[in-house]
Structure 1
Amino acid sequence: MAAREIVPGVDQLKALTHPVRVRMLGILRVDGPATATTLATRLGINSGATSYHLRQLAQRGFIEDDESRGNGRERWWKAAHQMTVTGEDNVPDTPEGRETLDAYLQTVVTIYSQRLQEAIEERPLLPPEWREVFELNDRVVRLTPSQADHLKEQVSAIIQGFEEDSDGEPVMFQFHAYPMPGHLAIDQER
Structure 2
Amino acid sequence: MLAHPLRVRLLGQLRAEGPATATHLAEALTTNSGATSYHLRQLAEAGLVMEEERDGGGRQRWWRAAHDMSSWRRADYEDDPDAMAAVEWMETQQVNRFVETARAWWDALPGEPAEWRDAGGISDYLLTLDLEQLQALMTEVGEVIDRHRAEAHAHPRPGARPIVLYAAALPSMDEADGYHAVD
TM range (shorter): 0.7 to 0.9
SS of the aligned residue for 1:65 comes to strand
* 1:42-77 Cα deviation digits (max 9, x unpaired): 323233332222122112111111112663243211
Q: TM-score, normalised by structure 1?
A: 0.78
**Structure 1: unaligned runs, 5 residues or longer:** 1-14
Cα-to-partner distance string for 1:75-102 (whole Å, 9 max, x where unaligned): 2110112222211243253433433322
- Structure 2: where are the runs of 5+ without partners? none
RMSD value, Cα: 2.6
User: Superposition pairs for residues 139-178 of structure 1, below 5 Å?
Assistant: 139-165=125-151, 166=153, 167=156, 168-178=160-170
Equivalents in 2 of 1:148, 1:41: separation in Å? 43
Q: 1:7 aligns to what? A: none
Sequence identity of aligned pairs in percent? 35
The 2-side partners of 1:105 and 1:81 are apart by: 18
Pick 1 or 2: higher relative contact order, CA cutoff 8 A, min separation 6: 1
Match of 1:95 among 59, 81, 92: 81
User: Which of 26, 44, 48 pairs up with 1:40?
Assistant: 26
- Which residue does 1:107 correspond to in 2? 93
Q: Between Structure 1 and Structure 2, how many residues are aligned?
A: 175
Greater radius of gyration (CA): 2
CA distance in 2 between partners of 1:84 and 1:162 (Å): 17
1:55 and 2:34 correspond:
no
Conserved? CA contact 2:2–2:86, under 8 Å? no
